[in-house]
Amino acid sequence: PVGTWLLYLPCTWSIGLAAEPGCLPDWHMLSLFGIGAVLMRGAGCTINDMWDRDYDKKVARTASRPLAAGDISTFQSFVFLGGQLSLALCVLLCLNYYSIVLGAASLSLVITYPLMKRITYWPQLILGLTFNWGALLGWSAIKGSCEWSVCLPLYLAGVMWTLVYDTIYAHQDKRDDIIIGVKSTALQFQEDTKQWLSGFSLAMLLSLCMAGMNCNQTFPYYSAVAAIGAHLAHQIYTLDIDKPEDCWKKFASNRTVGVLLFVGIVLGNL
């Protein structure tokens, strides 16, 4: 459920920023993107489990997943994936033509992301590019095209945010990852993790300020950005990268970061 929120929230930011001054975000679009987030997060998990079924067997946290445990066959998972993607396509076809093309373009990232941990120590960056596509799509769904001076900084902020929370998440599995030979930013940064997370957080906050300035956001928006900065600072300062339960707690708290920004956007618009 946390992962679905983390996929959905960048969509809400973009839809909120695209609303006219003095207006609430488009609730129809928020609902549509909510359904899309559930479906595409599910499809991403299915694809991930299909690629990783042999790895998942060797990791304590993932050994009980249906494919890894042998509860379902690869063919059954293909059928299930087909159902998920078909329903997600129905949601996408409710949008304008520009958004349909833009949304379809993200599918290559969804399919290839699970392979990245075999190739690079930066799979979290690819996840960021994938998970924050809604920061582009939400705006185009409202406006008919992207305003790049707003959408690109917002997208970059989301990518930096993903590098923060998914590096923390990856520290849960680092011992197993070393044994089975997969890569992550947690293994790349090791004891320097907090310095890297601080840099990503700063880049996120600067990008959010740029996005806000480029669409004439107001005081509540920047107050939310400041609150996010405080939340991230506390999260990083108190993080214990060697305690999986603390890593999970910090990872899950990032839903609060996304909600804070959405509330700031809505109040700033009003």
What is the value of pTM for the model shown?
0.93
- What is the token pair recorded at 89? 């396509």
- What is the token pair recorded at 123? 């799979």
pLDDT of residue 56: 81
Q: Where are the domains of the chain?
A: 2-269
pLDDT of residue 102: 96
pLDDT of residue 54: 84
pLDDT of residue 175: 87
- What is the token pair recorded at 217? 């956001």
Residue burial 97-106, b: 16+ Cβ < 10 Å; e: rest: eebbebbeeb
pLDDT of residue 82: 96
In whole angstroms, give the CA distance from residue 135 to residue 32: 15
Of the candidates 211, 222, 33, 43, the residue with the CA atom closest to the CA atom of residue 134: 33
Per-residue model confidence as pLDDT tens for the chain (270 residues): 899 999 999 999 999 999 999 999 999 999 999 999 999 999 999 998 998 888 888 777 788 889 988 899 999 999 999 999 999 999 999 999 999 999 999 989 988 888 898 899 999 999 999 999 999 999 999 999 999 999 999 999 999 999 999 999 999 989 888 888 889 999 999 999 999 999 999 999 999 999 999 999 999 999 999 999 999 999 999 999 999 999 999 999 999 999 999 999 999 999
What kind of architecture, by CATH, is found in domain 2-269?
Orthogonal Bundle (1.10)
pLDDT of residue 60: 75
Range list of H helices, the chain: 2-18, 27-51, 53-56, 66-69, 74-92, 97-104, 107-112, 116-119, 123-131, 134-143, 148-170, 174-180, 185-189, 193-214, 219-238, 244-252, 254-269
Vertex 41: Cα angle to 206 and 94 (nearest 5): 90
pLDDT of residue 171: 95
In whole angstroms, give the CA distance from residue 94 to residue 99: 9
| Contacts of 202 by beta carbon, 8 Å cutoff, 6+ apart | none
